[in-house]
A and B are shown apart, each in its own frame.
Chain A
């Protein structure tokens, strides 16, 4: 589905990603864990094409998408749930979903509303007039409206109450069961290890550890050294 090959990303002169490689297979849920400032958001921005990597390749569905404009990557089936949700504030909930929709309607408004009934109740609300949890659901719903085969999520639990986090986890598990591939970038180890098949630990722009979710939970050394979780 997705193959990232040795990408290097920069912000201006600052070298943020130092040769990151990873793969996501069809129907797999892969999590990238790391603390703040380790390059997680940069990685997502490189994949979708907001900040194309200066070296290396991003191959999606056997096609090189490294320097494709972001809207083309989305058309090909990359869905993005960005950091901070980035709901369009001038648009209603309904419009936020509609602008993302396309003709190949595998996902449509009815399906999104049955997944998130709370959005249906608020469809006339302005996008900036929602709680954090509702905004996160809208951001996920909006990404689904683009009919993705691979969903990229950047810190979906940021700033959410524990109950809402559990709801997001259930939603993502449900989507994965339907065959969606998911690449998740997170700080929260419990959240990521609960739903992911495999995890990579990102530190200072490099992947320093790769293992299954269960193995990471048992590995105190990696957790304390790279994720700031002392035991």
Chain B
């Protein structure tokens, strides 16, 4: 349970922003933002969260504290103005397809999301490291009992999560921008996706994120006065009918 996950998104965006401004390279922005935040995640896991294994409430309190610290640090370093990362020229153009204009950058975002999803799936389902992760999710104690270095694996998975959140932050900074408060704007989405999809399930995340993305956008466009309702009502419904989420086992 990590309430600082939105902060990783925000920090990734800001680090990417600074890199892009200094180097004029979007690729370097993606890389530096993700890697810097992965390191932060690694440090948080190693020195703080490792002591709180399987203690949800202390985890919530600790990561909430981190989220507040990151929020203020970001304000101190990058100030209160909203920024957009300059995206490469070929991604900034649009093309007209019949009655609609399609922005290349939106297609790029969909492409990145798809690619990350496929690579993650292959990693989890087709590699020995992926099988070790699934074994640890099934039964962490027994995973140690067959020789899996669970502390190392947990740190790696946590850093990977931070890496991906920050990657999303840099990509998002070229689209929705990066600004104070963004961290706590994206956090509920991540939670609703996991709650709808089910804890510990990759398929759940894929389905959950599609459901949340579509509901939220169509909800805001069609019934703007209901906005958050179209997001949280389905979540409440699923929690009532299937408390473990669509694909969760626990």
Contacts and interface: CB of A to CB of B under 8 A. Distances in A.
A146 B146 contact: yes
Interface in A76-105: 80, 82, 86, 88-91, 95-96, 98-100, 102
B132 A99 contact: yes
Interface string A47-80: 0111000000000000000000111001100001
Given A71-B150, A88-B138, A90-B137, A99 B145 contact: no
Contact of A99 (B128, B141, B151): B128
Given A71-B147, A71-B150, A100-B147, A95 B142 contact: no
Interface in B137-168: 137-139, 141-151
A202 interface: no
Contacts, number: 64
Contacts of A146: 146-147
Nearest to B149: A71
A49 B144 CA distance: 10
Interface residues on B, range: 10 to 19
Contacts of B132: 99
Contacts of B113: none
Contacts of A86: 139, 142, 145
Contacts of A96: 135
Contact of B146 (A49, A69, A80, A90): A80
A47 to B, nearest CB: 11
Contact of A50 (B137, B145, B149): B145
Nearest to A97: B146
A69 B142 CA distance: 12
Interface residues of A, number: 25
B24 interface: no
A98 B143 CA distance: 12
A38 to B, nearest CB: 22
Given A50-B141, A69-B151, A91 B131 contact: yes
Nearest to B125: A95
A143 interface: yes
Residue of A75, A99, A142 contacting most chain B CB atoms (<10 Å): A99
Contacts of A75: 147
A142 B131 CA distance: 14
Contacts of A98: 128, 131
A49 B143 CA distance: 13
Interface in A126-146: 142-143, 145-146
Nearest to A145: B146
Tell me which of B132, B138, B147 has the highest count of chain A C-beta atoms within 10 A of its own C-beta.
B147
Given A69-B151, A71-B150, A99-B128, A90 B134 contact: yes
Contact of A100 (B137, B146, B149): B146
B138 A70 contact: no
Nearest to A147: B147
Contacts of A71: 144-145, 147-150
A176 B183 CA distance: 59
A99 B141 CA distance: 14
Contacts of A90: 134-135, 137-138
A71 to B, nearest CB: 4
B151 A82 contact: no
Contact of A74 (B128, B139, B147, B151): B147
A70 B131 contact: no
A80 B143 CA distance: 11
Contacts of B141: 50, 70
**Most chain B C-beta atoms within 10 Å of own C-beta, residue among A70, A80, A91:** A70
Interface of B: 128, 131-132, 134-135, 137-139, 141-151
Interface of A: 48-50, 69-71, 74-75, 80, 82, 86, 88-91, 95-96, 98-100, 102, 142-143, 145-146
Given A75-B147, A99-B128, A143-B146, 5 more contacts: A70-B145, A71-B150, A88-B138, A88-B143, A91-B131
